[in-house]
Chains A and B, each alone.
Chain A
Amino acid sequence: MKENINILGFLCEWCAYQGADLAGTSRLNYPAEIKLIKVPCSGRVSGHMILKAFQKGADAVFVAGCHPGDCHFKSGNIIAQKRIKVIKSILDTIGIEPLRLDFFFISASEGLKFKKVAEEFYAKIEKLGPSKLKKWKIR
């Protein structure tokens, strides 16, 4: 039996979350395994949240924020990208594929883009398979 892929997305309230809502109102479908959490800005996403997500069984995590220069809070998406780079390198160091973490630019009007991004990311992770971390069933 194929094990379920679990993908967690952190969406910024002002751009990406609205984009995902737009995908909803446009009735665009994407895999149900993708679950979303709202944050005020992509800069609010801390390394702890991402690492906890992987610990708790996420096979992949993505953070979606405003396009460069459009951040509602000026520069949150810049620091968010820097942090993602660091976490990716930490995952890589212990042998978790850094592809499992990504950052996407999605504006409030990009419902279709959200669907495409979600589907592509899901396909990529499906190919990689479930996170090897899940073999060690830690609580």
Chain B
Amino acid sequence: MKTKERIGVFICHCGTNIAGKIDIKNLIQKNSGKENLFFFDYPYFCSQLGQAFIKEKINQLNLTRIVVAACSPSLHEKTFQKVAQEAGINPYLISCANIREQCSWVTLDKEKATEKAEKIIFSHINRVMYQQPLFVKEVEIVPRVLIIGGGIAGIEAALKIANAGKEVYLVEKEPSIGGHMAKLDKTFPTLDCASCILTPKMAQVRENKNIKLLTYSEVEEVSGFVGNFNVKIRKKARSVNLLKCTGCGSCIEKCPVKVDSEFDMGLSKRKAIYIPFPQAVPNAPVIDRENCLWFTKNKCGVCKKICPFSAIDYDMEDEITLEKFGAIIVAIGFSLFNPELIYQYGYKRFPNVFTSLEIERLLSSTGPTLGEIILRNGEIPKEVAIIHCVGSRDENYKSYCSAICCLYSLKFSYLIKERTKAKIYNFYIDLRLTRKGGEDFYNRVLEEGVEFIRGKPAKIEMQKNGKLVIECEDTLLGKIRKIPVDMVILSPAICPGKDTLSLAKILGLSLSSDGFFQERHPKLAPVSTMVEGIYIAGCCQGPKDIPETVAQAGLAAAEVISLIDKKKIEISPIVAELKEDYCSGCGVCIELCPYNALEYDSQKNKAKLTPEKCFGCGVCVSACFGGALSLKNYREEEILAQIEGIL
């Protein structure tokens, strides 16, 4: 044991909370006279006077390390660290012994409690001898934010952050921002037009000087840590020069190629050069190089010839940019469950089985049928069935509830009845209408004569005349019913967005068991992730409707603004440390780090640690048999010394 250290042991009475059970006077008397150990006691060390007492003794006796035996460190460790610092001792050269919550308050017998307290105190004296001085590191935060995903969540967050005066890069994979919300016709329950509330926001994004819009772009690589993320973005070649294009549309008119439109969910055609939808931002076309005759067969080239502004550029190439960001928000949204997997529902086998997003396009006044609900052969349906929970709440596919299907199913019931006067059936398991106005809307729909059948259809069969017969057990009636309809609408489960897995790997994020991004805490930190500085918002975190998405986007924006406003970030010194000389390159630690802070350096044949990414869990340290890794403030020596003292 090193004897140059002078250790002060401050035992708090905590009124009678400790002193009433533990014989402090006896304990001190028993141990006074030990070399370089100085014992003190006081009624309340956390008080102003108590803290002053500690400082006085440190200065008087030239104490080098201190042990405070009192309440749980969760309460006052920071208090006493500050006291030590003010008295000239490094704040990490103190150790807090918990002799209240874990001793005096839980032990009946006074003698046993005193004995236990003595053991605890000595274990901390042992420990503090091995502790090392540590220093907090400050790093500057890059005042720029990256938002991945240009749907309503990304747009909201971008506007909030840009309006707070921070620079935002909004990266969107598709040629236009807007996401899934741009495809919707009307929203539940107020039935406002989705485009009417979305497009002004999209225009604001375009106009805002603090937002740099990167559409038709993808994030390829991310490295670094909070406040200093290095990101590689690929701007895919649009083949149209955005600075010259005016959006006149002449090129689109003349294009000879027709392809299924992704925006219209395959219900209509678009050209090889196209603007995804009329209100697209930016309002400029993009060339789909996989279907364009120029790029596949070196023919045609009409769009270039006809463009009055010479905006078409066939030689344009993908552009890679490297940028630094202080924080990242992921808002990549959702994808729909593919109902083809449920063979018996006949999706893609029978012509008049549709998914909810396809119906949204039919309902839309700018959609393939200009707002008319018609079957594939152009006829108006007389009977329409809406099947809830297709893929959701199903142990074969997704076990969770997709949160929004009941809401939009009611919406469809109302709108389709209004437009076609058809008889509407809803096949449901439960009705989950948690939104404001939900119950009222439901009553309205009931009044319109929409029928609700509690049961999950077993199968759908098509008759020769094209009628779709739904076989279902009506659980309230207790009978099996076969209901013929003209059109079936499926409400598929809300699944994680297609790029969720690859983006999780790029960013080092974890996924929850249902495949959505994992939030740090389900109640108190729903938009934070385990990676400091990266946030998630919207459906990529879990199925939710538009109001909740907007709320999450706002929360993520607030987190980011508060982070960037700090200008500098303090990195906790309780991180791992790698002694390169001791490392034998065995590689056992690498995969265990949840934050990817450890990499294998194949040049040196050793592990490499990025301490800025380390959160201080110590899993790697206990895996390292060669003692190359250590966790500051929780080094093996410190804990082993503590074990020796406590037994």
Contacts and interface: CB of A to CB of B under 8 A. Distances in A.
Are A and B in direct contact (Cβ within 8 Å)?
yes
Contact of B106 (A28, A38, A47, A58): A28
A39 B618 contact: yes
**Secondary structure type dominating chain B contacts:** helix
Interface residues of A, number: 43
A76 B72 contact: no
Interface stretch (B245-253, B375-383, B600-608, B631-639): B631-639
Interface string A20-56: 1101110111101101111111011111110011001
Contacts of B107: 29, 32
A56 B644 contact: yes
Given A69-B513, A72-B617, 20 more contacts: A8-B643, A8-B646, A21-B98, A23-B106, A24-B100, A29-B106, A30-B106, A40-B574, A40-B616, A41-B618, A43-B617, A43-B618, A43-B622, A45-B622, A46-B621, A49-B636, A52-B643, A75-B594, A76-B594, A115-B106
Nearest to B616: A40
B619 A43 contact: yes
A56 B119 CA distance: 14
A6 B102 contact: no
Given A8-B646, A40-B574, A53-B643, A32 B112 contact: yes
Contacts of B115: 32
Contacts of A32: 103, 107, 109, 112-113, 115-116
A116 B618 CA distance: 28
B647 A44 contact: no
A64 to B, nearest CB: 13
Contact of B631 (A40, A52, A75): A40
B640 interface: yes
Nearest to B633: A40
A56 B631 CA distance: 23
Contact of A58 (B73, B108, B112, B647): B647
Contacts of A23: 101, 106
A67 interface: no
A35 B72 contact: no
A104 B616 CA distance: 22
Interface in B528-579: 530, 574
Contacts of A46: 621-622, 636
B500 interface: no
A88 interface: no
Interface string B431-457: 000000000000000000000000000
A124 interface: no
Interface string B94-132: 000010111101111100110110011001000000000
B72 A24 contact: yes
A28 B513 CA distance: 36
13 contacts: A20-B102, A21-B72, A23-B101, A24-B101, A24-B106, A27-B106, A32-B115, A39-B639, A41-B619, A44-B631, A49-B639, A52-B640, A79-B592
A53 B642 contact: no
A28 B594 CA distance: 35
A45 B120 CA distance: 19
A49 B643 contact: yes
A57 B592 CA distance: 31
Interface residues of B, number: 45
Contact of A56 (B513, B595, B616, B643): B643
B623 interface: yes
B210 interface: no
B618 A40 contact: yes
B646 A18 contact: no
A116 B646 CA distance: 22
Contacts of B105: 24-25, 27
B615 interface: yes
Interface of B: 72-74, 98, 100-103, 105-109, 112-113, 115-116, 119-120, 123, 510, 513, 530, 574, 592, 594-595, 615-619, 621-623, 631, 634, 636, 639-640, 642-644, 646-647
A46 B639 CA distance: 10
Given A24-B101, A25-B101, A48 B640 contact: yes
Contact of A76 (B112, B619, B639): B619
B14 to A, nearest CB: 12
B102 A73 contact: no
A57 B643 contact: no
A40 B634 contact: yes
A18 B530 CA distance: 20
B374 to A, nearest CB: 48
A132 interface: no
Contacts of B103: 32
A85 interface: no
B449 to A, nearest CB: 46
A74 B105 CA distance: 32
Contact of B618 (A18, A35, A44, A74): A44
B123 A18 contact: no
Most buried by A among B72, B622, B642: B622
Contacts of B642: 37
A45 B643 CA distance: 12
Nearest to B618: A44
A74 B510 contact: yes
A40 B615 CA distance: 10
Nearest to A73: B617
Contacts of A72: 617
Contacts of B634: 39-40, 44
